Structure 1
């Protein structure tokens, strides 16, 4: 592990660099709303110090190849969802957060397709406030280095242009007055953690705008990882769909009968003062992975039509420190309960209640997301 002194220097550099980012005339990503059928070619054609949006949001059959740069992500059901990951082989989230693209489990969204065997255990949970898909993944199949502990993606970021820049999310689970799930509605608040061969994507109900709802998809607790942001009981090798209670907003806990909110520090050494609790679930249905994910042949030709990328490319994290493993990275998908270091674990659950450090991370640093 790196020393606390070295980590403090890197964190200071990350914060200083993020604060130095310039503002743009582009509206914050979370403020931009579009009907799925009316998406522009690029949501953010003008960038900032990190560069411009590298991909496109208007995706169709002509862009569905393994070279796709589609940055419109779909989250529907256990067999029909996408994840953000890198378009470049052997990459890390700390480097690629600004230019992530969509990788989908199902054809039809104009994206890259997860190869057979990528998903190794998935739990889809529907709650009153959010839908969460969480589980285990062979991250090398979606271009992440095997050693990458990963990080967090969300529609905010230090410059409010999102990670990835211009990345938007849609779902047919919140059909805006449609009861047959035939339409896609934009999800405003969402987050994803991926790394250490685990993932979680959570989408908050767009019809709810209460502070509690926003808190459930909060993006400022990136270092504490999946165990705190996505408490669940997913198991490797198990594919199930459940109903569940909503989690307690991250950071909130009860001590001696008093509800307290803990805020993740941006520097120094710290310990989370509570252990996350997995919400109750019910009505779980289990499926065979072979019934959910087909091994259809994957298109390999370069994307055409709407699939040409913009001229400029975005750098991974702007002025922030980046990397993977024990180096400075954006954040961790499986962060420990302390803010400076942790250890890799071979646990078979994404979260084990009462064991806050089960998903340790090597030197996770602040990610001003």
Structure 2
């Protein structure tokens, strides 16, 4: 059973892991803390970038000889394979630790089995410590690993009565400058930002990250433009960040020479959501920030492809205008997608609500 010191170390490791958000994809975020034989913290680390040393290696280097006979506390089961770096399970064995505590098992076929390898080497292994918290911190990578598609976060900003634009179509700005700055931080932590052709026509968005300090990679800007109506001068086609235009298989794209285009199956009035996510996954995208308007959000919701929702609610009333969510195939209250609210926070004058879909079955 984990000691109070190991519980504290795991909480610290979860916090360390979060520092890697936006720079480790397609790898997970991982944090590690090394306790010496007396239970004192002697080393810590986190996975800082894809291809670089894993969290355990950083922590072991910081601990040095003090790791021998101590405990490694890690948010994810130590890997058991050689990729761009060596197996962390073997590194822990070589360092002479006597105990390893990890939160979440590795679900990938190539890397799983670290716990078994450590146990076979005579190391005491405990799994599951603070697993829900650690899994939430690694929700992007775990979803992608288990479902073979990117994790999708739908972000929207609306008035208190659920409007994203006034009756005349104007929408700048419903949310505050503080909320808009927060959205750039969401972009910086995502592999791709997705909008639809309606948003493109209405706002001509740029979609690149601005005003965010720290290490991150500009996300792939994705425009779902079924019939390829985007104009060549659209801001999203500049060189500030990579851009992908997703179109139907039969769309005419002759006016887009040199533009990266993905041709996807047509379904109804748009392209198939899961085909789009499969295309993005194949390109290494593990997290999607869905910034599209109500039609795009409704399509993703109808496809069961929204994993998280962040809504910025401004203290504003309009009474008429476009709603935040379009047709999602929900026709009666029993089909409503209920949300579990995980966090509420004031961002400037706005209220930011973070929630996760929770399908409620009718009794």
Between 1 and 2, higher relative CO (CA 8 Å, sep ≥ 6) is seen in: 1
Larger radius of gyration: 2
TM over 0.5: no
TM-score bracket for this pair, using the shorter chain length:
under 0.3
Structure whose residues are more often helix by fraction: 2
TM-score of the superposed pair, with normalisation by structure 1: 0.22
